[in-house]
Amino acid sequence: MSTANPAAPVARPKTRRKQRRRHRGRRIALTASLTLIVAAAIFAATIYEVEQQIAAVPAVNLNRLLNTHTVSRVLDGSGHLLFELPPAGRIDVPLSMIPRDVQRALIATEDAGFYHQDGFSIESYIRAAWHDLLHHDEAQGGSTLTQQLAKIVYLTDAKTFQRKWNQLVISMEIARRYTHNQILDFYLNRVYYGAGATGIAQAAYVYFGVKPTEMKRLSLVQCALLAGLPQAPSLYDPLVDPKLAMIRRNEVLQRMERQGDLTYAQMQKAQATGLELHPGRSPEFPVAQVDESYRDVVLTEISQMHLTSALENGGLTITTALNPRLQQSTFAAVNNWRYYPTPLSTAHEEVQGAAVMIDPHTGGILALVGGKANTYSYLGFNYATQTQRSPGSAMKPLVAYGPAIQTGRWNASSAVEDGENNQLSFHGYTVSDWEPHWTDQGAVSIRWALAESWNAPAVWLLNEIGVDRGIAFADCAGIDLNHAADRNLTIALGNVIPGISPLQLADAYASFDNDGERMPAHAILRVTGPDGRVLYGGRERPVRVMSPSTARQMVALLENNVTNGIVAGAAAPGHEVAGKTGSVAYTNWSRTDSDLWVAAFTPNVVGAIWEGYPKTTLADSLPQWSSKYPPMMFSAIIRNGWPAHGGRFAVAPAVGPEYPTNFPLQSHSGTSTATGSQHTVWLNIGKTANPGPTQPPRPAAPPAPPAHGPGGGPPGHAPGGPPGHGPGGPPGHGHP
């Protein structure tokens, strides 16, 4: 019997396989098509982006590399020429006059493949791009000497992808036009070496006293030092930080040894040698002596604006706030011995002084002198902007009285505690007034306390409002008190770490004179390039420090200090003047001062003056009770440098210091009622009250051991207690 086989679907599996192959082929073709389309789009976008980047590259004049004589013009506040700056003081010397050791050291340090590439290094670019990708920033370098030259001459210091692209394209153009030796010549004569020196000849003179015609005299260690500076000229400046400069120089010598420019023995010998510094006095800038300090501030601000490269190329117009008459008056006063106390017979050094005058309404620096003329050095230490000293009692309005009045709980006539014996204690910290005086049951008014600069009321008031409130007020005024050592009551007496400069103090007091707003101080108003393009147009924004009402009350109080208090020496005929002095005792027992201050102002000018020794010792300290001299200097500056009748304060005229005979102290709740009769006591600078009770004579303070040896640390830290603790007044801040 035959069995019928069922029909087997033999063709069906083959058909399905064919169908799958067709579908897979279609998908592959579709994917390939889409990939090609996307790739074409990306390629087109890349080409477009490259074209856009190329179009964004600024047109450059390569002949500009040959230009060595374009000056920059600096104008005063009225637009008149003040002085001219050569291109950062550059003096070009040919490559043949530059020692080979300088050339080898620079190439070994900055661009080892310099002679084997045409303007850029692929390896460096890949390394920089990888860093940027990993760290999500644009700050990694990758620049050859040619690219650095392109940035110096044609670009800004901004770290952006567009700038890097521009730098690459321009460097390739430079490499096509000039030889390697020409490029090296251009670089050495244009790069910045710090201390105001641009170009190798200027740097050799500033650091080693070597003139341009004597460049071959430079030793190996001097050449290595110079070659290491362009990477970070301010950081490695040997005149500022010799130790760090030594480390950098030795790194350069090590790289020279790796490149085969030195033997190992030569490297070791050079690394064991000192820096061999022999600095010249200053580069050749055509600037009058009276304007030297101000010029240095202008150069510093140019650097802060990242316009150093533009200045090196020259052709800038820099408009400043300087007032020539006020600058001349300030310079004359700072250099006049009449406005300084007579030195002690033990003095070895010359007492220094510095002064700053600013416009309170704009923040423009009208005048600035950073030290006596006979000690000036180009871009050297500027006592007006760089010194950090305790301001003494000049801090009282900024951390105690100003913020207290701002709370609305106190005014000029409010009572503050002074202690029955002019001494108060706060959890182990004791503060005394700088001389005994009468009180009304241990209380005085704010007006009288500030006029006579009593210490205890200021500390009591800061304790009432809280240290944090005082610090916040000072911070808004531009004085940073966030150091851990500043968070205590002694800041009311100016015991601040690390200290402040005259510029900071003037900037802070300007807020009183400008209805409570501070305009950050600055010298430069505007910078334009050779083509008239504005490179800087002023970016200062007002900072609200206090209410207008508080500011006007503080002006009335500070004007009373001049009219009836211990700042009487700042008075200037034809001007309304307000202000506050400050002085810092060297030690509790020395009966000498380390620093003298005044912050004073008229309706249109705010000034701060400091006097002291560069390095205070017991021998080089100031006679005690010399706080009258800075106010006298301010008075002379205003009398001779500012037109009389220069405006009026927007407050009622100051009245004499007054204090009630019987009233309760201001409570923590802010409620207080004054009872009993009041009488007014008019004070004079001789510390006597008339009419009123006779003040007892100033006592002889018993000697106490110093907190530190002479010069061994900040004054005011007595044994067994915080700064300011001790008999006869707080050490370090014992008197106004």
Q: What is the CATH number of the domain that holds 545?
A: 3.40.710.10
Q: Which domain holds residue 532?
A: 337-680
Q: At 428, which amino acid appears?
A: G
In a domain, 15, yes or no: no
- 637, 662, 680: which is the final residue of a domain? 680
Most confident of 16-25, 83-92, 402-411: 402-411
In a domain, 79, yes or no: no
User: Per the structure, how many domains does the chain have?
Assistant: 2
The residues facing 586 across adjacent strands are none
Q: At 380, which amino acid appears?
A: G
Q: What is the pLDDT of residue 71?
A: 81
Which comes out higher in pLDDT, residue 697 or 574? 574
- 663, 680, 697: which is the final residue of a domain? 680
Full 3-state SS string of 676-687: CCEEECCECCCC
Q: What is the pLDDT of residue 273?
A: 93
In the predicted model, what is the mean pLDDT of residues 259-270? Answer: 94
Cβ–Cβ < 8 Å for 598, 580: yes
Sorting pLDDT into bands at 50, 70 and 90, what band is 612?
Answer: very high
Residue 439 has pLDDT above 60, yes or no: yes
Give the helix/strand (H/E) hosting 132.
helix 122-135
The set of residues, in sequence order, having a beta carbon less than 8 Å from that of 638 and lying 6+ positions away, is 329, 572, 575, 577, 602, 605, 607
Cβ–Cβ < 8 Å for 354, 610: yes
Task: Give the model confidence (pLDDT) of 388-419 as tens digits.
Answer: 999 999 999 999 999 999 999 999 999 999 98
Q: Are 234 and 359 members of one domain?
A: no
Q: Are 396 and 484 members of one domain?
A: yes
CB atoms within 10 A of CB 730: 32
In a domain, 713, yes or no: no
Q: What is the pLDDT of residue 671?
A: 30
Residue 127 has pLDDT above 70, yes or no: no
Sorting pLDDT into bands at 50, 70 and 90, what band is 647?
Answer: confident
Task: Give the model confidence (pLDDT) of 713-722 as tens digits.
Answer: 333 332 233 3
In the predicted model, what is the mean pLDDT of residues 118-146? Answer: 55
The beta strand positions in 638-707, using DSSP E, are 658-660, 678-680
HSE value, Cβ hemisphere, 13 Å, CA-based, for 451: 32
Measured CA to CA, the distance from residue 112 to residue 225 in angstroms comes to: 17
pLDDT above 90: percentage of residues in the chain: 48
Closest CA to 320 of 523, 503, 519, 604: 523
In a domain, 372, yes or no: yes
Q: At 203, which amino acid appears?
A: A
In the predicted model, what is the mean pLDDT of residues 334-344? Answer: 94
For the record, the structure tokens of 125 come out as: 């670019």
Measured CA to CA, the distance from residue 585 to residue 730 in angstroms comes to: 9
| Predicted TM-score of the model (pTM) | 0.67
B/e letters for 672-686, b = 16+ CB within 10 Å, e = fewer, are eeeeeeeeebebeee
Sorting pLDDT into bands at 50, 70 and 90, what band is 125?
Answer: low
The beta strand positions in 494-632, using DSSP E, are 517-518, 524-528, 534-536, 543-544, 578-585, 592-601, 606-612, 622-623
Measured CA to CA, the distance from residue 442 to residue 418 in angstroms comes to: 5
Q: Are 235 and 342 members of one domain?
A: no
Which comes out higher in pLDDT, residue 545 or 203? 545
Cβ–Cβ < 8 Å for 333, 354: no
In the predicted model, what is the mean pLDDT of residues 568-593? Answer: 91
Residue 54 has pLDDT above 50, yes or no: no
Sorting pLDDT into bands at 50, 70 and 90, what band is 678?
Answer: very low
In a domain, 188, yes or no: yes
Q: Are 407 and 519 members of one domain?
A: yes
10 Å CB burial of residue 42 (0-12, 13-18, 19+) is: exposed
Full 3-state SS string of 273-336: CCCCCCCCCCCCCCCCHHHHHHHHHHHHHHHHCCCHHHHHHCCCEEEECCCHHHHHHHHHHHCC
- 271, 302, 317: which is the final residue of a domain? 271
In a domain, 608, yes or no: yes
Measured CA to CA, the distance from residue 680 to residue 689 in angstroms comes to: 10
Q: Are 240 and 369 members of one domain?
A: no
Residue 652 has pLDDT above 70, yes or no: no
Q: Are 651 and 573 members of one domain?
A: yes
Q: Are 241 and 343 members of one domain?
A: no
Q: Which residue is it, tokens 């010799």?
A: 242
Q: How far is CA 327 from CA 278, 369, 529, 598, in A?
A: 32, 8, 26, 18
Q: Which residue is it, tokens 């190992």?
A: 264
In a domain, 326, yes or no: no
Task: Give the model confidence (pLDDT) of 481-540 as tens digits.
Answer: 988 888 999 999 999 989 999 999 999 999 999 999 999 999 999 999 988 999 999 878
Q: What is the pLDDT of residue 33?
A: 74
Q: What is the CATH number of the domain that holds 100?
A: 1.10.3810.10
Which comes out higher in pLDDT, residue 679 or 276? 276
Task: Give the model confidence (pLDDT) of 619-645 as tens digits.
Answer: 888 998 899 999 999 999 999 999 987
Residue 298 has pLDDT above 60, yes or no: yes
Measured CA to CA, the distance from residue 679 to residue 658 in angstroms comes to: 6
Strand pairing of 606-612 and 592-601? antiparallel
Q: What is the pLDDT of residue 217?
A: 92
Across the chain, what does the average pLDDT equal? 79
In the predicted model, what is the mean pLDDT of residues 176-185? Answer: 88
Task: Give the model confidence (pLDDT) of 564-574 as tens digits.
Answer: 999 999 999 99
Q: Are 354 and 467 members of one domain?
A: yes
Cβ–Cβ < 8 Å for 448, 468: no
Measured CA to CA, the distance from residue 519 to residue 540 in angstroms comes to: 7
Q: Are 257 and 344 members of one domain?
A: no
Q: Are 394 and 250 members of one domain?
A: no
Most confident of 136-145, 207-216, 224-233, 664-673: 224-233
Cβ–Cβ < 8 Å for 415, 674: yes
Sorting pLDDT into bands at 50, 70 and 90, what band is 691?
Answer: very low
Sorting pLDDT into bands at 50, 70 and 90, what band is 61?
Answer: low
CB atoms within 10 A of CB 59: 6
Tell me how many degrees the CA angle 732-734-735 measures, rounded to the nearest 5.
Answer: 125
Q: What is the pLDDT of residue 254?
A: 95
In the predicted model, what is the mean pLDDT of residues 7-27? Answer: 62
Read off the DSSP letter of residue 26: H
Q: Which residue is it, tokens 């706080």?
A: 627
| DSSP character string of 2-15 | --PPPPP-THHHHH
Q: What is the pLDDT of residue 468?
A: 95
Query: Measured in Å, how far apart are the chain's first and last C-alpha atoms?
Result: 136
Q: At 297, which amino acid appears?
A: V
Mean pLDDT is lowest, of 120-129, 202-211, 453-462, 496-505, for 120-129
Measured CA to CA, the distance from residue 134 to residue 141 in angstroms comes to: 14
Mean pLDDT is lowest, of 184-193, 554-563, 578-587, for 184-193
Strand pairing of 72-75 and 317-320? parallel
Measured CA to CA, the distance from residue 606 to residue 511 in angstroms comes to: 10
Mean pLDDT is lowest, of 51-60, 147-156, 285-294, 423-432, for 51-60
In a domain, 58, yes or no: no
Q: What is the pLDDT of residue 477?
A: 96
Q: Are 154 and 267 members of one domain?
A: yes
Which comes out higher in pLDDT, residue 458 or 665? 458
Cβ–Cβ < 8 Å for 572, 539: no
Residue 128 has pLDDT above 70, yes or no: no
Tell me how many degrees the CA angle 219-224-229 measures, rounded to the nearest 5.
Answer: 130
Q: Are 250 and 103 members of one domain?
A: yes
Which comes out higher in pLDDT, residue 725 or 168? 168
Strand pairing of 517-518 and 543-544? antiparallel
Residue 153 has pLDDT above 50, yes or no: yes
For the record, the structure tokens of 244 come out as: 């760090």
Sorting pLDDT into bands at 50, 70 and 90, what band is 664?
Answer: very low
CB atoms within 10 A of CB 432: 25
